[in-house]
A and B are shown apart, each in its own frame.
Chain A
Amino acid sequence: MSKSDSVDLSAFSIPGTSRGILDVFGYRYLLRLLVRKGILTRYHGSVLGWAWSYVKPTAQFLIYYMVMGVFLGLNRGIEGFPIYLFSGIVVVNLFNEAFGNATKSIVNNKALVKKIYLPRELFPIADVFIAFVHFLPQLTILIVVCLIAGWVPTVVQIAGALLAMLIVVLIATGLGLFFGSINVSYRDSQNVVELILMFATYTSPVLYSFSMVQAKLPGWLYDIYMLNPLTSAVELFHSAFWFPTTSETADRPEHLLLFALISLGVAVVTLIIGQLVFRRLEGRFAQEL
């Protein structure tokens, strides 16, 4: 019966193998349906529905504004503090939502992962797309507020904002693949991720300005601080949205474009590492879940 060695094998494929993220694009239609499912069912059964996507960031903004701006006095230190604050918050929110959801997505989809073969990267990537869709209402509010405050968009500013979103989405996907695949065997992973998310808001200049860090830290530590891709993304958003609405006298970080490009490189490397680890662990998903 085992005469297959004499058989031409070119027509055959090995079940359960894929080219990883590259294959996800072959499943565009399914990806679209998974994203649609996530969006449709997210606020299912709630009366306010999508309004929650506006309520939550507004509440978050108000808390930070009261504590940081009014009580701790940053309102006076940073011109146009509300817009400064909000343009940073939305970037970190995008990162937290995309990274947090992607980490849990294999475990959340275990019914499918255990029973049918699909490129498993589909699930975390769909979650990143869903996070991006939920980021859009916040971005809309930001743009409207900036326009009211007298923002006249330029091509460079918009390109900067797009670069920031690209950095955040790539790094969240890479980290999500990495921690998500480990999470299948060791649920410690999602707790580590919660810690990282907690730090994310404070290790980038969202609630304070970069110059406060520069004043306190030695030069080399400040450079490391600036090399955090999230810092670059937040500063790009500040440059794109907040800075043009001010009198443009505030300090801006030097070499922002350089830091942003390095961040983009870091994000791509993270994505590659995440994909490699994911592929290595993927073979055990069905039996570990």
Chain B
Amino acid sequence: MLKNSELDLPRIVIEGVKKTYTLRHTHSFKETLVARARRRRTATSFDAINDVSLTVGEGEAIALIGYNGSGKSTLLKLVSGVLRPDAGRVLTRGRVAGLIEVGAGFHPDLSGRENVYLNAAILGMSKEEIDARFDDILAFSEIGDFIDTEVKHYSSGMFVRLAFAVAIHTELDILLVDEVLAVGDAPFREKCNAKIRELVAAGKTLFIVTHDLHTASEICNRGIVLSKGEVIYDGTMPEAIAALRASR
């Protein structure tokens, strides 16, 4: 596993990370008192991620696979910094960009152009960087003249294409992708996958969460299988997929 990181520093280091969620069953004083009186539990906790350690090297393309509730998205959120680990630590090197649930930062009343600037800035780009890439983003999204129309008038396909185009053109060293590869129609999806492969070829580190095993095995060179918050396999893609199927 150290084939890349022997020479270079790793891009992501995850050490003994644990994340526990507390689920509150009561939402008001009244409910809490009633639950106490009836000796019911007012909260339960479960470990979404339990003692996970990983090192991701420069230029690795990793697919994080596992069934629903295995902790994949939680792990990705820990790497992006949205969540903080309860134990252990996460370290990253370089600029991290997330292909977050597409269009989270879009405002329907603003034009496509304004949304491009707003979202690229949310993803950490400066004005100069956005200016320089604006034409690429526009071309990739295939939005054309609609760029100055308010986003609320876009079809869902146009909306998704624009959001994806912004995210994929950010300046980054580590790209985090959470199940957004399945956007748009088949030709656009193929274009997105080609763009992601291009980033991997350029030495960017890729960390994707997906259920689409076919696409994952095309793009990624390492697969990590999560089950109940623990890593049960870490190795090549075909074997990871086999391990996932065997774990059921």
Interface residues of A (CB under 8 A from B): 1-4, 7-9, 11-17, 27, 29-30, 33-34, 37, 40-41, 44-45, 111-118, 283, 286-287
Give the chain B neighbours of A45 by CB distance below 8 A: 109
Give the chain B neighbours of A7 by CB distance below 8 A: 9-10, 13
Whether a CB of chain A sits under 8 angstroms from the CB of B228 is no
Q: Given that A14-B90, A111-B105 are contacting pairs, would A116 and B123 also be in contact in the complex, using a CB cutoff of 8 Å? A: yes
Task: Please determine whether A118 and B122 come into contact, CB atoms closer than 8 angstroms.
Answer: yes
Give the chain A neighbours of B53 by CB distance below 8 A: 1-2
Task: Please determine whether A116 and B110 come into contact, CB atoms closer than 8 angstroms.
Answer: no
Q: Which of B217-235 contact A (CB under 8 A)?
A: 234
Q: Which of B94-102, B140-148, B196-204 contacts A (4 or more CB under 8 A)?
A: B94-102
Whether a CB of chain A sits under 8 angstroms from the CB of B191 is no
Closest beta carbon of chain B to A118's beta carbon, Å: 7
Contact residues of B: prevailing secondary structure: mixed
Task: Please determine whether A1 and B2 come into contact, CB atoms closer than 8 angstroms.
Answer: yes
Closest beta carbon of chain A to B110's beta carbon, Å: 6
Task: Please determine whether B122 and A1 come into contact, CB atoms closer than 8 angstroms.
Answer: no
Chain A residue at smallest Cβ distance from B125: A29
B8-22 CB mask vs A (1 if < 8 Å, else 0) is 011001010000010
Closest beta carbon of chain A to B79's beta carbon, Å: 6
Closest beta carbon of chain B to A107's beta carbon, Å: 15
Give the chain B neighbours of A44 by CB distance below 8 A: 109
Give the chain B neighbours of A41 by CB distance below 8 A: 107, 109-110
Pick the contact of A30 from B101, B104, B109, B122 — CB < 8 Å?
A: B122
Q: Given that A9-B91, A29-B127 are contacting pairs, would A3 and B82 also be in contact in the complex, using a CB cutoff of 8 Å? A: no
Q: Given that A33-B118, A37-B110, A37-B118 are contacting pairs, would A14 and B91 also be in contact in the complex, using a CB cutoff of 8 Å? A: yes
Task: Please determine whether B83 and A286 come into contact, CB atoms closer than 8 angstroms.
Answer: yes
Closest beta carbon of chain A to B84's beta carbon, Å: 5
* C-alpha gap A286/B13 in the complex (Å): 22
Chain B residue at smallest Cβ distance from A14: B91
Task: Please determine whether B84 and A8 come into contact, CB atoms closer than 8 angstroms.
Answer: no
* C-alpha gap A15/B79 in the complex (Å): 6
Task: Please determine whether B82 and A30 come into contact, CB atoms closer than 8 angstroms.
Answer: no
Give the chain A neighbours of B80 by CB distance below 8 A: 15-16, 116-117
Task: Please determine whether A16 and B91 come into contact, CB atoms closer than 8 angstroms.
Answer: no
Pick the contact of B84 from A1, A3, A9, A283 — CB < 8 Å?
A: A283
Give the chain A neighbours of B77 by CB distance below 8 A: 286
Closest beta carbon of chain B to A197's beta carbon, Å: 24
Whether a CB of chain A sits under 8 angstroms from the CB of B55 is yes
Chain B residue at smallest Cβ distance from A40: B110
Q: Given that A12-B92, A286-B82 are contacting pairs, would A4 and B55 also be in contact in the complex, using a CB cutoff of 8 Å? A: yes
Task: Please determine whether A15 and B110 come into contact, CB atoms closer than 8 angstroms.
Answer: no
Top 5 A-B residue pairs of the complex, sorted by shortest distance between their CB atoms = A16-B81, A15-B81, A117-B81, A12-B91, A30-B121
Task: Please determine whether B92 and A13 come into contact, CB atoms closer than 8 angstroms.
Answer: yes
Give the chain A neighbours of B117 by CB distance below 8 A: 33
Chain A residue at smallest Cβ distance from B117: A33
Chain B residue at smallest Cβ distance from A285: B82
Give the chain A neighbours of B4 by CB distance below 8 A: none
Whether a CB of chain A sits under 8 angstroms from the CB of B242 is no
Chain A residue at smallest Cβ distance from B85: A16
Closest beta carbon of chain B to A24's beta carbon, Å: 13
Pick the contact of B90 from A2, A15, A29, A37 — CB < 8 Å?
A: A15
Q: Given that A41-B110, A115-B98, A117-B82 are contacting pairs, would A13 and B89 also be in contact in the complex, using a CB cutoff of 8 Å? A: no
Whether a CB of chain A sits under 8 angstroms from the CB of B1 is yes
Whether a CB of chain A sits under 8 angstroms from the CB of B54 is yes
Pick the contact of B101 from A13, A17, A29, A115 — CB < 8 Å?
A: A115
